[in-house]
Amino acid sequence: MPDITVVLPSVLQPLAGGQSYLTTPADGAVTVENLLDTVTGNYPVLARRLRDETGSLRRYVNIYVNGEEVRRLKGLDTEVAAGQEVLIIQSVAGG
C-alpha cells in the first residue's frame, strides 16, 4: 500500500530530526488533520509550529494537497489518499 508523503520546507526540517520528508502508511483516505497528528507525533515542536493551541493551522503555514491549498478546499478536513504528496510551505515575512 502506498504511503502518504509530507514534504517539509528546509526551515522546518530541523524540527523533524533533519528530515525533508515524513511518510505514513495510508489505509484509505485520511484527513489533513489526521495526517498532521500522525507525522508530527514524535515532533511536538513541529506540531506547534504548524497548528495553534486550538488545533487550527497557523496563519503563515500553507498546506497543499495535489497542488491545491487546503484552505481553498476543506481545510484540515481535506482528504488525502494513499500515494499523494502533501507539501507544507511556511510563509516568510519580508520588509
Q: What is the pLDDT of residues 46-63, one digit of tens each?
A: 999 999 999 999 999 999
- The overall average pLDDT reported for the chain is 93
Reported pTM: 0.90
Measured CA to CA in angstroms, residue 77 lies from 17, 49, 56, 57, 93 at distances of 27, 19, 11, 12, 27
Cell of 94: 519580508
49-68 CB burial, b ≥16 within 10 A, e <16: bbbeeeeebeeebbbbbeee
pLDDT tens, residue by residue, 62-94: 999 999 999 999 999 999 999 999 999 988 766
Cα separation of 24 and 2, whole Å?
Answer: 9
